[in-house]
Chain A
Amino acid sequence: MANVVVVTSGKGGVGKTTTTAALGTALAQSGQTVAVVDFDVGLRNLDLVMGAERRVVFDLINVVQGAAKLQQALIRDKRIETLWLLPASQTRDKEALTDEGVARVIDELRQRFDWVLCDSPAGIERGAQLAMRHADAAVIVTNPEVSSVRDSDRIIGLLDARTERAERGERIAKHILVTRFDPSRAAKGEMLGIADIVEILSLPLLGIIPESQEVLRASNLGTPVVLSNPTSAPARAYMEAARRLEGEDLDITVPTDKRSLFTKLFGRRAA
């Protein structure tokens, strides 16, 4: 039976889509079957980050409304054959998603995949609540700044109240993933430190993704960062986060790009 994981944050622009793509890819690399589902109807991005935007025929709305079958809408990744994308619609809005339709699609995905990763839209409204509705676990993506942390706190409250598991009186597993972290700026007090974030949100940490040019470069290439540059700091951080999501107990570190004195003195690394 699949694990349904919602990647959510409350605030926009913190890295939900990047995280969904990277975690999904990292999980699929170990041979497990993974579906990444774009719930951001009307502002779809996951197809771009996955490099599948020119192969979208049917989308989540078509499947929810019964106009297409699930296997018609699922797009298989060209690089990793156990990784699939269910894209969102760009031309519709979130009102087109029905509760029953989403429940049926998630149920079908559960039968077929080991992991179902739902990329939530920003906000706390219906779209975000539908994305989290059927989750067994949640990854809460947070940037090291106060507004992002407070919005995450709000989303955690919703996860404890509005998910199917919460309504049955169960708890869903919740993890914090800090993205765009810059250790040197945190040390200078220009960003919230990791200890502060964990203390405010009082949840376990899934990983710390360092701020890196590699993430932006990967998005623009349409290749998740764990594939575009697997040895880069953010790629290693995402791969470790994926292993923790599977239940491994790894020490949390902040991977850094180790540059030699030579490259520091003589310009940028060839990229």
Chain B
Amino acid sequence: MRTAVQSRLRPRPVRFRGRSYMAFALAPELPVSDWLADIDGTIGRSAGFFAGRPAVLDLAGLTLAPAEVAALIRELEGRGIRIMGLEGAEAAAYGPDLPPVLTSGRVLTAVDTAPEPANAPPDATPPSATPAARAAPQPAAAPSAGSLMIDTPVRSGQTVYHPHGDIIVLGAVSSGAEVVAGGSIHVYGALRGRALAGAGGDRRARIFCRRIEAELLAISGYYRTVDDLDVALRHRPIQAWLDGDTMLIAALD
């Protein structure tokens, strides 16, 4: 995620104000057709993932001709993803028919679609900021959207996605089902499917369940399959959390 910032100009007859907004930064990888297939996979797993969310196309490290970029933007628009700007590209290389080139985006760790306060101060970082400075992580400041309560079993093939909070499942999560939360995941039943907590990058997220038979546990991108789970823990109530770069799993009682 990057924050796109418009520069504030000095007051003249017409006044301009800077605003910063959140946007997805999509970084295509070559070959583009494979990357589009991955995007289709994401949309297939959780329809509406990109709905209503502006996106920026990060072209750093790619050498695409303007016509290729235009074709890529059309492909993405066909999938309901609207590109509001380009990043990591030379502004001079792209004509006025393409979205403007943005600079000085900041990486955010959590997905947040709410616009920042209107009077947010303009970013003072000059456009020539070094990549290291641009990549400096911001503290995860996802506003809590409350927790999502599911009072039915999560069946095979179903995905529950709640990007800004905890998910509480009162029944079981079946084999072949997927629960994805920005925060922690609590399952008051058997967890047989996949549980992905801290999906926006929150390393403090945890996974709790009454009975562990899960196919996959993931916290903030670190994952473990239950194949390498201690046999003594299987079928027991557990919690999982991150300690540094290691996922720890321990019995709850």
Contact = CB atoms under 8 A, between A and B. Distances in A.
Interface string A153-186: 1101110100000000000000000000000000
A153 B157 CA distance: 8
B176 interface: yes
A151 to B, nearest CB: 8
B175 A153 contact: yes
Report whether over half of chain A's contact residues are helix, strand or loop; otherwise say mixed: helix
A150 B156 contact: yes
B11 to A, nearest CB: 55
A146 B156 CA distance: 12
A124 B176 CA distance: 14
B123 to A, nearest CB: 44
B217 interface: no
A67 interface: no
B172 A156 contact: no
A157 B156 CA distance: 7
Contact of B176 (A154, A158, A160, A199): A154
B interface, size bucket:
10 to 19
A124 B172 CA distance: 22
A154 B172 contact: no
A200 interface: yes
Contact of A200 (B157, B158, B172): B172
Contacts of A154: 155-157, 176
A157 B158 contact: yes
B171 A202 contact: yes
Listed residue (B153, B155, B158, B175) with the most chain A CB atoms within 10 angstroms of its CB: B155
A151 B156 CA distance: 8
A208 to B, nearest CB: 21
A160 B174 CA distance: 15
Contacts of A151: 156
Contact of B157 (A146, A157, A202): A157
B128 interface: no
A156 to B, nearest CB: 5
A198 to B, nearest CB: 12
A252 to B, nearest CB: 21
B152 interface: yes
Given A157-B157, A157-B158, A150 B174 contact: yes
B158 A150 contact: no
Interface in A168-218: 199-200, 202
Contact of A153 (B152, B174, B190): B174
B172 A160 contact: no
Contacts of A199: 190
Contacts of A160: 152, 155
B185 to A, nearest CB: 19
Contacts of B153: 202
A153 B153 CA distance: 10
Contacts of A153: 155-157, 174-176
Contacts of B171: 202
Nearest to B189: A202
Contacts of A157: 155-158
A189 to B, nearest CB: 15
Contacts of B156: 150-151, 153-154, 157
Interface in B183-221: 190, 192
A169 to B, nearest CB: 13
B190 to A, nearest CB: 8
A88 to B, nearest CB: 26
Contacts of B155: 153-154, 156-157, 160
A151 B191 CA distance: 17
Nearest to B174: A153
A199 B157 CA distance: 18
B152 A150 contact: no
Interface in B142-165: 152-153, 155-158
A150 B156 CA distance: 7
Contact of B172 (A150, A158, A202): A202
B187 to A, nearest CB: 13
Nearest to A10: B156
Contacts of B158: 157
Contacts of A202: 153, 171-172
Contacts of B152: 160
A146 B171 CA distance: 19
5 contacts: A150-B176, A153-B157, A153-B175, A157-B155, A158-B157
A-B complex: 9 closest residue pairs judged by Cβ atoms: A157-B155, A153-B156, A154-B156, A154-B157, A153-B174, A157-B158, A153-B155, A150-B175, A150-B156
Given A157-B156, A160-B155, A202-B153, 10 more contacts: A124-B157, A150-B174, A150-B175, A151-B156, A153-B157, A154-B176, A156-B155, A157-B155, A199-B190, A200-B192
